[in-house]
Amino acid sequence: MRGPHNIWRLIRTGATFVRSRAMHQALEAIDAPPRLRAVAYALSWPFAWLGYKGDESLPPVTRAITALGPAYIKFGQVLSTRPDVVGEELADQLRVLQDKLPPFDTAIAKRMVEQELGTPADTLFMSFSEPVAAASIAQVHAARRADTGEKVAVKVLRPGIERAFRRDLDAFHFAAGMIERLSPASRRLRPTEVVKHFESVVLGELDLRLESAAASQFGANTTQDAGFKVPQPVWHLSARRVMVLDWAEGLPMGDRPALIEAGHDVEALGAHVLQIFLNHALRDGYFHADMHHGNLKVAENGDILAYDFGIMGQIDVYTRRVYAEILMGFIQRDYKRVAEVHFEAGYVPADQDVEEFALALRAVGEPIFGMDAAHISMARLLSYLFEVTERFGMPTRTELILLQRTMVVVEGVARSLHPSINIWEVAQPVVEKYIRENLGPRAAMRDLRRTMQVIARFGPELPDLLKAAIRRQTEPPPKPPETPRWRYVLLGAGGVALLVIGFLLGEVL
């Protein structure tokens, strides 16, 4: 229920940051303006004693986020890939949120396996290890199948995670509504729609049957992708709260020193992870939307291994083409074309000026070219882009939120491996290939052929459909049926009866 009781949850959020001594560090990391800092402290300090204590062995911000629950942990995971936004120190602290959270007892995990699969875990598996990774929503155990002896990964949801997530999402919905009411200017960003979109994505992550299907689909799409592997699900051992996947061994992508020591080319890996994401998004329209360090490993042969398919993104063919044209326009520094694509797609209101929008986009894109990425402040860049979209009345497009958010995360992963990477130079060959195959004459002929196939399929019905449409336009609308007189009499008598009853009750009282 999205009522005022959520104010309590939001107050405890601020109070938890104060009690864990994380408030100052968090505000410093995002370079919050003085007014915002004053408001945050004024609303939080009086209630500091209400904040969650958290694990005192963790750094302050990590301690506060883990104490607040899974939705906050998800947010922290994203920030952990952005040292250029929150600083190296805070980014390092937040990396423990990816796969190093406190696990729950293995006996509970085995009990959940039995509840979900109807057979004791010791019967299904000849061995079942202690947790090898623990994240915000689930933890993973290494096991060996009793029937084949193969090593597998067993993923089990945290107990009570569904209820905890719904509570946090409820507070987010309330906060979004309050923001829209208190700040009319924020409605352009559709905070309520953004939270709804986030909710649909996260709730899908809480059903491991859907994740199994996602892993299967993603694996089928990427079978021919060199240097990229997707572990596949064991269907008869997977259910709503338990999922079993093929085991895949590798070094964590977030451990740069270990990758270098093992002989891997970390700069090439940084470029590769960015290119495979763009390839999946543009070519397939189906991409891994949670590609942080904790969900990526590097095999001994250099292949990138992807895990955790609870959040996957989908974009339709038209949106992919628009996205590719926008990227290509930035790569070629053709800001006029980027602006035109925004207007053609309806992303910017038609009453705005194309030339002015192109000039504003130039101010966003030009700092990127010819400069070492290590010297670019993505925080300032995104801040200015926000100002540009606000100035031109461009509403937030909820269908692209996941794509944009994942692009930010993947860039962060790539930069952690290759600090001086230039995302536009790396993206160019992927985008150019997509445009050649999907926006040239050959693609136009392919689209025309598909259109003719659809028309041919409905060809026999077209004459009847045309006649029906003409008839609807020429024939007068049917008259509504007349209401029988006895119904009016009955309604009148009923009204009189109600008046009499009301009068009698008034006299009695």
Q: Assign residue 21 a region: left if phi > 0, alpha if psi is -120 to 50, beta otherwise?
A: left
327-344, pLDDT tens digit by residue? 788 778 888 988 888 888
Compute CA distances 21 → 17, 38, 42, 400, whole Å: 6, 16, 15, 35
pLDDT at 504: 41
Q: Active site includes 308? A: no
| Spatial separation of the C-alpha atoms in residues 61 and 16, rounded to whole Å | 10
Across 126-140, 170-184, 253-267, 401-415, least confident range: 170-184
| Spatial separation of the C-alpha atoms in residues 2 and 172, rounded to whole Å | 9
Average pLDDT over residues 477-489: 55
Q: Assign residue 333 a region: left if phi > 0, alpha if psi is -120 to 50, beta otherwise?
A: left
Reported as a pLDDT band with limits 50, 70 and 90, residue 209 is very high
Across 47-51, 290-294, 358-362, least confident range: 47-51
Reported as a pLDDT band with limits 50, 70 and 90, residue 2 is low
Q: Assign residue 302 a region: left if phi > 0, alpha if psi is -120 to 50, beta otherwise?
A: left
Nearest alpha-carbon partner for 15 in 66, 49, 55: 49
Nearest alpha-carbon partner for 369 in 333, 326, 407: 333
| Spatial separation of the C-alpha atoms in residues 394 and 23, rounded to whole Å | 32
Which of helix, strand or coil describes residue 473? helix
Cβ neighbours for 63, distance < 8 A, ≥ 6 positions apart: 20, 22, 54, 55, 56
| Spatial separation of the C-alpha atoms in residues 483 and 264, rounded to whole Å | 83
Reported as a pLDDT band with limits 50, 70 and 90, residue 217 is very high
Pairing of strands 251-252, 296-298: antiparallel
Question: At 461, which amino acid appears?
Answer: E
191-218 burial: b if 16+ Cβ within 10 Å, else e: bbbebbbbbebbeebbbbebbbbbbeeb
102-156, pLDDT tens digit by residue? 789 999 999 999 999 999 999 999 999 999 988 778 899 999 999 999 999 999 9
Cα atoms in the Cβ-side hemisphere of radius 13 Å centred on 364: 24
460-479, pLDDT tens digit by residue? 776 777 777 777 777 666 66
CB-based contact 264:271 (threshold 8 Å): no
pLDDT at 506: 41
Q: Which helix (H) or strand (E) holds 144?
A: strand 138-145
Nearest alpha-carbon partner for 229 in 241, 220, 238: 220
Residue 509 in this model has a pLDDT that exceeds 80:
no
Average pLDDT over residues 69-86: 67
pLDDT at 368: 63
Question: DSSP string of 446-462?
Answer: HHHHHHHHHHHHHGGGH
| Spatial separation of the C-alpha atoms in residues 264 and 478, rounded to whole Å | 76
Average pLDDT over residues 35-52: 70
Taking 3-state DSSP, the helix, strand and coil percentages for the chain, each rounded to the nearest 5, stand at: 65, 10, 25
pLDDT at 126: 95
Question: At 205, which amino acid appears?
Answer: E
Does pTM top 0.75 for this prediction? no
Backbone angles phi, psi at 152, to 5 degrees: -135, 165
Catalytic residue among 99, 168, 290, 308: 290
Residue 508 in this model has a pLDDT that exceeds 60:
no
Nearest alpha-carbon partner for 185 in 441, 337, 386: 386
pLDDT at 4: 61
Rg of the chain (C-alpha set): 28
CB-based contact 421:414 (threshold 8 Å): yes
Cα of first residue to Cα of last residue in the chain, in angstroms, is: 38
